Homo-oligomer: A and B are copies of this chain.
């Protein structure tokens, strides 16, 4: 069984327990196995089905209760089995979702790469390599630190404020980095794939 999470910029496959990414414009292989996928990207879905007609979208198997209008299926999937916690997917955007008894809403911060791309566009003088291990207990004394500190604080503090004392589950490429700043946190690298498997198993749809 192959799983695939189709995002805004990549196909993220889990093939025999291993990650494999393809850019949306790349040619996809023809797989022999069953493929189950979720997608926030219609064009990406169509292309996968064209190259692999056996691929099945599991979105229709999901029942996710929320008043949020237009919640991406990847966010719903990350939150799917959680209660009374915060779910943070730190990728190209950083989605922060609040799970009480059900989904209570959320917000979307720019991802680290988006921050890093933004500063040099404001001024050439703000073109530095970021230091993601910057000391956040010390007010910066140079511009390189001033932008790294601001980026980290502007991501960490809104998550901290909304989380109160609740557990925080991090996933996504920068999830491990940010989980270190929260005592009550766990990092689940493959949260999306884990939850896809649980949904597929629960629906007994493996041939």
Contacts and interface: CB of A to CB of B under 8 A. Distances in A.
Interface of A: 8, 40, 67-70, 72, 92-93, 96, 98, 104-111, 114-115, 117-119, 121-123, 125-126, 138-143, 145-147, 149-150, 153-155, 157-158, 161-162
Contacts of A72: 125
A146 B70 CA distance: 11
Nearest to A92: B122
Contacts of A70: 125, 142-143
Stoichiometry, copies per complex? 2
B147 A107 contact: yes
Contacts of A114: 118-119, 121-122
Contact of A98 (B8, B139, B161): B139
Contact of A122 (B8, B96, B142): B8
A64 to B, nearest CB: 14
A23 to B, nearest CB: 15
Contacts of A142: 68-70
A72 B126 CA distance: 11
